[in-house]
Structure 1
């Protein structure tokens, strides 16, 4: 069992101040997004909602002609901030670790520890999130987000590491997920709680780089016709348009400002693929780009529609 002492930094982030061999007690501020790096390295630490958000990023990158992005994805089903910290304390190799180095996902290990992924690359950006059912309950972030931030900082070799946060999406109105009860089974109420918790997280912990996948999905739901509110089971995203709009939000939030390439005009499409896959044609792609761009521009704003679509 490792013990930690965390202290607040200039932006509300925390550095690990005690534990044998732990680096970075002097770290007290979040690094900015990198600008035009030779290679951009992004790691997502999360669960199936991280998978949903990142799954089509390699496809969007390939279609945009971008070949200098390394992606990592650390997955454990339903993993919360607290569970990540517990796994770290126990040095548990419970994750599946996926990686994309040439715009295609590959499985690195089915028995990975948190440190295996954190130390695998000199990551420029590490993306965190809360488990979807807890995402609107800010009390579940404390003290676990603070501790997880310290763990990430202590196991990354990049002194300019940028921490980012994926804002997850609300469940479909007919979702039977047990966690939906905390929001009265009301999708709008859940969404507003998620937005509120993300705002408190940013104010209190200083992670100001947001990937508003939830806001993008909420906007797209107003203009893209899919089954079950863009989900395949009431909570995980539809394998077509749902995952597509979430990936567009990741692209606009991280790729556009670092590499100068927007998702607008991206040629990646998703054909018909069965009841869990809403196809992405030209019209649907444009609606998803618009929803993602508006969400990144205003993650805490109105979500009644996708707004004006570019000509």
Structure 2
């Protein structure tokens, strides 16, 4: 088995700290995610992880592709002005107001559109307004900030000239910007907890024995249909061939969204924060992901969550290994 840097960490780092009896890990969590495709990515494997741990997850996703917090606020205002207007609804003629009141949500997550995540100005004043709106209609729920992740190192955002001033020029610059912005806004909103998927992606992307390395031998301009570069250890979709509406199959790059490994990593972060239990040793491994890689991603997620000071209980089966 490949020996990785993370696996060399002391055992206590991977399975501690432990919760006190008063902070026992919940067995059921009701989750409402107010987000976009990144929240959909990060929660795709959350049900599988919860089931394998003997937990009950009740999850309703409010997903608008590419949406910022302001987009959700605007949708809520449209619905309140005219409940019959489909532009103000998510599904079943239900707007944000009704969605917030639909369940006694334990946790409601909010996030920024990834393309805007690096600049704190994009969070103001919409983050405060969205928090206040949620508190008005779901006062007993905990609002948690979902930290999104930086794009893949070879994403066009970093390989082409910036379209406007202030754009991050590298993956590292994007991570630093979004991390600063999420930390700042979480503090401004009252010290909210953060689900650190962005931190977890950053840890894996900077692990010398794991991180993705662009295939410098691949030329997308001359690639024949079906040909793809070596994308080992990518956490993002990357290069892929897709058939368009016109029936033509073309090669495209998606350095934004998570692939199965990134989705699993995000799900592990969500699991630990929501259920206050370590994901290390969880037996759920989705098809297409090796058991070895799943274990590594579990440990990365746990390291990211622990670094945020979020306490989790140990998994007895995992601790015994």
Shorter-chain TM-score above 0.5: yes
Matched, 1:183 2:167: yes
The aligned residue for residue 200 of structure 1 is 184
Give the number of equivalent residue pairs: 245
Q: CA RMSD in A?
A: 2.8
The aligned residue for residue 221 of structure 2 is none
Following superposition of structure 1 onto structure 2, how do residues 154-165 of structure 1 map, counting pairs within 5 Å?
A: 154-156=136-138, 159-165=139-145
Following superposition of structure 1 onto structure 2, how do residues 96-111 of structure 1 map, counting pairs within 5 Å?
A: 109=91
User: Counterparts of 1:186 and 1:112 in 2: how far apart (Å)?
Assistant: 40
C-alpha displacement at 1:293, in angstroms? 0.8
C-alpha displacement at 1:39, in angstroms? 3.7
Larger RCO (CA under 8 A, 6+ residues apart): 2
User: Counterparts of 2:114 and 2:94 in 1: how far apart (Å)?
Assistant: 22
The aligned residue for residue 265 of structure 1 is 281
More helix by share: 2
Residue 60 to residue 147, structure 1, CA distance change in 2 (3 Å):
same
User: Counterparts of 2:88 and 2:43 in 1: how far apart (Å)?
Assistant: 16
Q: Is the 8 A contact 1:95 1:110 kept in 2?
A: no
State TM-score, norm by structure 1. Answer: 0.71
C-alpha displacement at 1:77, in angstroms? 0.7
Query: Residue by residue, what CA displacement relative to the aligned partner does 1:109-159 show, whole Å, maximum 9, x if unpaired?
Result: 376422232121111111110111111110111110111011111112xx4
The aligned residue for residue 290 of structure 1 is 299
Q: Is the 8 A contact 2:76 2:88 kept in 1?
A: no
Q: Is the 8 A contact 1:45 1:75 kept in 2?
A: yes
Query: Residue by residue, what CA displacement relative to the aligned partner does 1:193-244 show, whole Å, maximum 9, x if unpaired?
Result: 0111112112222243110011111112232655584111100001x11100
User: Counterparts of 1:161 and 1:155 in 2: how far apart (Å)?
Assistant: 9
The aligned residue for residue 235 of structure 1 is 256
Query: Residue by residue, what CA displacement relative to the aligned partner does 1:147-182 show, whole Å, maximum 9, x if unpaired?
Result: 1011111112xx432110011000112223599755
User: Counterparts of 2:304 and 2:162 in 1: how far apart (Å)?
Assistant: 23
Matched, 1:123 2:139: no
The aligned residue for residue 247 of structure 1 is 267
Task: Indicate the structure (1 or 2) with the bigger Cα radius of gyration.
Answer: 2
C-alpha displacement at 1:93, in angstroms? 4.2
The aligned residue for residue 222 of structure 2 is none
Q: Is the 8 A contact 1:45 1:126 kept in 2?
A: yes
State TM-score, norm by structure 2. Answer: 0.69
Following superposition of structure 1 onto structure 2, how do residues 1-311 of structure 1 map, counting pairs within 5 Å?
A: 39-66=28-55, 68-91=56-79, 93-94=86-87, 109=91, 112-156=94-138, 159-176=139-156, 182-221=166-205, 222=207, 223=210, 226=231, 229-232=234-237, 233-238=254-259, 240-255=260-275, 257=276, 261-272=277-288, 280-299=289-308
Q: Is the 8 A contact 2:266 2:301 kept in 1?
A: yes
User: Counterparts of 1:128 and 1:80 in 2: how far apart (Å)?
Assistant: 9
Residue 179 to residue 228, structure 1, CA distance change in 2 (3 Å):
farther
| SS, match of residue 42 in structure 1 | strand
> Which 5+ residue runs of structure 1 have no aligned equivalent?
1-32, 98-108, 273-279, 301-308
